[in-house]
Chains A and B, each alone.
Chain A
Amino acid sequence: MSNAKEFHFKPLNVGRWIVWGLFALILFVAPRIWTSGLAQTMLTQMGIGIIACLAYNMLLGQGGMLSFGHAVYSGMGAFLTIHALNMAGAGTLGIPVSLIPLVGGLAGLLCAVFLGYVSTKKAGTPFAMITLGIGELVFALALMLPEFSGGEGGVSSNRVIGKPVMGISFGPQIQVYYLVAVYCFICTALMFALTRTPLGRMLNAVRDNPERVEFVGYDTHWVRFMIFTISGFFAGIAGGLGAINTEIVNGADVLHAARSGAYLLFTFLGGAMFFFGPIIGAVLMVFCGVMLAELTKAWLLYLGLIFLFMVMYAPGGIASLILMNLRVAAFGKLGKIWTSYLALAGAALAALVGAAAMIEMLYHRQLNEALGPELRFMGATLNSSGIDAWFGAGLLIVVGCALFELARRHYVHQWGEIQEDIEKEIKRREAL
Chain B
Amino acid sequence: QKGETVKLAYIDALSGLMGPVGQNQVKTFQFLGEKFNKSNPAGVKFEVVTFDNKLSPAESLNLLKAAADQGIRYIMQGNGSSVALALSDAVQKHNERNPGKEIVYLNYSAVDPDLTNSKCSYWHFRFDADTSMKMEAMSSFIKDQPDVKKVFLLNQNYAHGHQVAKYAKETLARKRPDIQVVGEDLHPLAQVRDFAPYVAKIKASGADTVITGNWGSDLALLVKAANEAGYNGKFFTYYTGVTGTPTALGQGGAGRVYQVAYSHYNMGGEVQKLADEYNKKFNDDMYTNSIQHIYTMLSQAMANAKSTDPVKVAAALEGLSVKSFNGEVTMRKTDHQLQQPLFISVWQKADAKFPYSPEKTGMTLAPVKQYDSYVSSTPTSCQMKRPG
Binding site for B on A (CB under 8 A): 36-39, 41-42, 45, 140, 143-144, 151-154, 156, 158, 160, 171-173, 242, 246-248, 250, 252-254, 289-290, 293-294, 297, 299-300, 367-368, 370-371
Q: Does B192 contact A (CB under 8 A)?
A: no
- Bound state CA distance, A156 and B57, in angstroms? 11
Contact A154 to B86, CB < 8 A, known contacts A252-B56, A253-B57, A294-B52: yes
Q: Does B232 contact A (CB under 8 A)?
A: no
Question: Which B45-69 residues sit within 8 Å CB-CB of chain A?
Answer: 51-52, 54, 56-59, 61-62, 65-66, 68-69
Q: Does B97 contact A (CB under 8 A)?
A: yes
- Bound state CA distance, A297 and B26, in angstroms? 13
- Bound state CA distance, A293 and B53, in angstroms? 8
Instruction: Decide if B85 touches A154 in the complex (CB within 8 Å).
Output: yes
Question: Which B13-61 residues sit within 8 Å CB-CB of chain A?
Answer: 14-15, 23, 27, 30, 51-52, 54, 56-59, 61
Contact A38 to B65, CB < 8 A, known contacts A154-B57, A289-B59: yes
Q: Smallest CB–CB gap between A423 and chain B, Å?
A: 47
Instruction: Decide if B58 touches A250 in the complex (CB within 8 Å).
Output: yes
Instruction: Decide if B86 touches A370 in the complex (CB within 8 Å).
Output: no
Instruction: Decide if A294 touches B51 in the complex (CB within 8 Å).
Output: yes
- Bound state CA distance, A367 and B284, in angstroms? 11
Instruction: Decide if A144 touches B157 in the complex (CB within 8 Å).
Output: yes
- Bound state CA distance, A300 and B23, in angstroms? 15
Instruction: Decide if A247 touches B90 in the complex (CB within 8 Å).
Output: yes
* B94-112 contact mask (Cβ, 8 Å, vs A): 1 or 0: 0001000000000000001
Q: Smallest CB–CB gap between B69 and chain A, Å?
A: 5
Q: Smallest CB–CB gap between A159 and chain B, Å?
A: 9
Q: Does B273 contact A (CB under 8 A)?
A: no
List 19 interface pairs A-B (beta carbons < 8 Å), by A numbering. Answer: A36-B69, A37-B65, A37-B66, A37-B68, A38-B62, A38-B68, A42-B62, A140-B188, A144-B157, A156-B85, A160-B97, A246-B61, A247-B89, A250-B57, A253-B58, A253-B59, A297-B15, A297-B52, A367-B23
The residues of B that contact A151 with a CB separation of less than 8 Å are 158-159, 162
Add 9 more A-B contacts to A144-B157, A151-B162, A152-B81 (CB < 8 A).
Answer: A37-B69, A38-B68, A153-B82, A153-B112, A246-B58, A247-B93, A250-B57, A289-B59, A297-B15
Q: Smallest CB–CB gap between A386 and chain B, Å?
A: 20
Q: Smallest CB–CB gap between A56 and chain B, Å?
A: 18
- Bound state CA distance, A127 and B58, in angstroms? 29
Instruction: Decide if A152 touches B97 in the complex (CB within 8 Å).
Output: no
Instruction: Decide if A152 touches B30 in the complex (CB within 8 Å).
Output: no
How many A-B pairs have beta carbons closer than 8 Å: the answer is 99
- Bound state CA distance, A45 and B65, in angstroms? 13
Q: Does B386 contact A (CB under 8 A)?
A: no
Q: Does B114 contact A (CB under 8 A)?
A: yes
Binding site for A on B (CB under 8 A): 14-15, 23, 27, 30, 51-52, 54, 56-59, 61-62, 65-66, 68-69, 81-82, 85-86, 89-90, 93, 97, 112, 114, 157-160, 162, 188, 281-283
Instruction: Decide if A248 touches B89 in the complex (CB within 8 Å).
Output: yes
Instruction: Decide if B86 touches A294 in the complex (CB within 8 Å).
Output: no
Instruction: Decide if B69 touches A152 in the complex (CB within 8 Å).
Output: no
Contact A290 to B158, CB < 8 A, known contacts A250-B86, A297-B14: no
- Bound state CA distance, A368 and B112, in angstroms? 31
For the complex, would chain B's binding face be called helix, strand, loop or mixed by DSSP majority?
Answer: helix
Minimal Cβ-Cβ distance residue in A for B158: A152
Q: Smallest CB–CB gap between A251 and chain B, Å?
A: 9
Minimal Cβ-Cβ distance residue in A for B86: A248
Q: Smallest CB–CB gap between A39 and chain B, Å?
A: 8
Instruction: Decide if A371 touches B30 in the complex (CB within 8 Å).
Output: yes
Nearest 3 interchain pairs by C-beta: A152-B82, A152-B159, A153-B85
For the complex, would chain A's binding face be called helix, strand, loop or mixed by DSSP majority?
Answer: helix
Instruction: Decide if A370 touches B282 in the complex (CB within 8 Å).
Output: yes
- Bound state CA distance, A42 and B63, in angstroms? 11
- Bound state CA distance, A246 and B83, in angstroms? 13
- Bound state CA distance, A156 and B58, in angstroms? 11
Contact A248 to B51, CB < 8 A, known contacts A143-B157, A152-B159: no
Instruction: Decide if B62 touches A41 in the complex (CB within 8 Å).
Output: yes
Minimal Cβ-Cβ distance residue in A for B84: A153
The residues of A that contact B30 with a CB separation of less than 8 Å are 371
Minimal Cβ-Cβ distance residue in A for B53: A293
Minimal Cβ-Cβ distance residue in B for A291: B66
The residues of A that contact B114 with a CB separation of less than 8 Å are 153
The residues of B that contact A293 with a CB separation of less than 8 Å are 14-15, 51-52, 54
Instruction: Decide if B86 touches A172 in the complex (CB within 8 Å).
Output: no
Q: Smallest CB–CB gap between B160 and chain A, Å?
A: 8
- Bound state CA distance, A37 and B70, in angstroms? 10
Instruction: Decide if A299 touches B15 in the complex (CB within 8 Å).
Output: yes
> B15, B68, B82, B97: which contacts A154 (Cβ < 8 A)?
B82
- Bound state CA distance, A128 and B149, in angstroms? 51
- Bound state CA distance, A254 and B281, in angstroms? 40
- Bound state CA distance, A151 and B166, in angstroms? 15
- Bound state CA distance, A410 and B83, in angstroms? 52
The residues of A that contact B188 with a CB separation of less than 8 Å are 140
The residues of B that contact A290 with a CB separation of less than 8 Å are 59, 62, 66
Minimal Cβ-Cβ distance residue in B for A251: B82
Q: Smallest CB–CB gap between B297 and chain A, Å?
A: 25
Contact A158 to B93, CB < 8 A, known contacts A153-B81, A250-B82, A370-B283: yes
The residues of A that contact B90 with a CB separation of less than 8 Å are 247-248
The residues of B that contact A39 with a CB separation of less than 8 Å are 69
Minimal Cβ-Cβ distance residue in A for B34: A371
Q: Smallest CB–CB gap between A368 and chain B, Å?
A: 8
Instruction: Decide if B69 touches A38 in the complex (CB within 8 Å).
Output: yes
Minimal Cβ-Cβ distance residue in A for B67: A38
Instruction: Decide if A153 touches B283 in the complex (CB within 8 Å).
Output: no
Instruction: Decide if B62 touches A156 in the complex (CB within 8 Å).
Output: no
Q: Smallest CB–CB gap between A401 and chain B, Å?
A: 28
Minimal Cβ-Cβ distance residue in B for A299: B15
The residues of B that contact A37 with a CB separation of less than 8 Å are 65-66, 68-69
- Bound state CA distance, A144 and B57, in angstroms? 18
The residues of A that contact B14 with a CB separation of less than 8 Å are 293, 297
The residues of B that contact A156 with a CB separation of less than 8 Å are 85-86, 89
Contact A252 to B157, CB < 8 A, known contacts A38-B65, A156-B85: no
The residues of B that contact A253 with a CB separation of less than 8 Å are 56-59
Instruction: Decide if A300 touches B15 in the complex (CB within 8 Å).
Output: yes
Instruction: Decide if A248 touches B69 in the complex (CB within 8 Å).
Output: no
Minimal Cβ-Cβ distance residue in A for B186: A144
- Bound state CA distance, A313 and B23, in angstroms? 35
Q: Smallest CB–CB gap between A150 and chain B, Å?
A: 9
Q: Smallest CB–CB gap between B269 and chain A, Å?
A: 23
Q: Smallest CB–CB gap between B121 and chain A, Å?
A: 12
Instruction: Decide if B66 touches A294 in the complex (CB within 8 Å).
Output: yes
Q: Smallest CB–CB gap between B282 and chain A, Å?
A: 4
Minimal Cβ-Cβ distance residue in B for A300: B15
Q: Smallest CB–CB gap between B372 and chain A, Å?
A: 31
